[in-house]
Chain A
Amino acid sequence: EVQLEESGGGLVKPGGSLRLSCVGSGLIFKKAWLNWVRQAPGKGLEWIGRIKSSLDGGTVDYTASVKGRFSISRDDSRQTLYLEMNSLRVEDTAIYYCGSGYPDRWGQGTQVTVST
């Protein structure tokens, strides 16, 4: 069974930084394309970005609102996906989900709150 588990969320002040992790199991992690998707309170889903498998070049794509502030990376040896978030804004407050594939499998999410 594929399982994804996010961690690293918390409360941070505007302008601060946070690193989220997503550990995967039950899948061939090194072959997986991995996504980050977020959901602001009471809002819909927003795709943040995706990293392809190393076999497919490891290319990373982002949505415009986070480009230059957020960075996605992966460590296949640790079966872990990362989201490095810098220059955080109040509007980045959301539940952050990692997802594998389309995505077809999702983690349970981790809450990020940006507030003074």
Chain B
Amino acid sequence: DVVMTQTPVSLSVTPGQAASISCKSSQSLLSRDGKTYLYWYLQKSGQSPQLLIYEVSSRFSGVPDRFSGSGSGTDFTLKISRVEAEDVGVYYCMQGLFVPRTFGQGTKVEI
């Protein structure tokens, strides 16, 4: 199975500051169709996960533009330009190229 490794495990940020989460995959997520199947989710306390970013850098509907994704191959980054209180939760990356789909272990973001 493809191993997804996120760093850091936890992150304490001040509102208005930037935050960055890294995700590394054990295999390249670049598909023969030219797309890279890497996704970012946020799970707020007591809620279902919500999709933030798909295919490395595309923001899902309704996601604020302070969230951005970048990377290629096996190395990916989620950036929050100016953290807000509502951004608290656990962030997961997930690879969507191989079966089984696999998630990173999560990064807990606290204010």
**Chain A residues in contact with chain B, CB under 8 A?**
35, 37, 44-47, 49-50, 61-64, 97, 102-109
Q: How far is the CB of B36 from chain A (nearest CB, A)?
A: 13
Q: B18-26, B45-53, B69-77: which one contacts chain A?
A: B45-53
Are A107 and B48 in contact (CB-based, < 8 A)?
A: yes
| Most A CB within 10 A of own CB, among B43, B51, B92, B101 | B101
A63 to B98, CA, bound (A): 11
Contact of B51 among A35, A37, A62, A102 (CB under 8 A): A102
Contact of B92 among A44, A106, A108 (CB under 8 A): A44
Are B48 and A45 in contact (CB-based, < 8 A)?
A: no
Q: Which residues of A contact B105 (CB under 8 A)?
A: 44
Are A45 and B60 in contact (CB-based, < 8 A)?
A: no
18 CB-based A-B contacts, threshold 8 Å: A37-B49, A44-B92, A44-B105, A47-B94, A47-B100, A50-B99, A61-B99, A61-B100, A97-B48, A97-B49, A102-B39, A102-B54, A104-B51, A105-B51, A106-B48, A106-B49, A107-B48, A109-B48
A62 to B101, CA, bound (A): 9
Count contacts on B: residues with CB < 8 A to the other chain: 22
Question: B89 on the interface (CB 8 Å rule)?
Answer: no
Q: Which residues of A contact B49 (CB under 8 A)?
A: 37, 45, 97, 106
Q: How far is the CB of B24 from chain A (nearest CB, A)?
A: 16
Q: Which residues of B contact A50 (CB under 8 A)?
A: 99, 101
Contact of A104 among B60, B99, B101, B103 (CB under 8 A): B60
**Smallest Cβ-Cβ distance to A62: which chain B residue:** B100
Are B102 and A47 in contact (CB-based, < 8 A)?
A: yes
Q: Which residues of A contact B92 (CB under 8 A)?
A: 44-45
A50 to B99, CA, bound (A): 9
A104 to B50, CA, bound (A): 7
When each residue 92-111 of chain B gets 1 if its CB lies under 8 Å from chain A and 0 otherwise, what string results?
Answer: 10101001111111100000
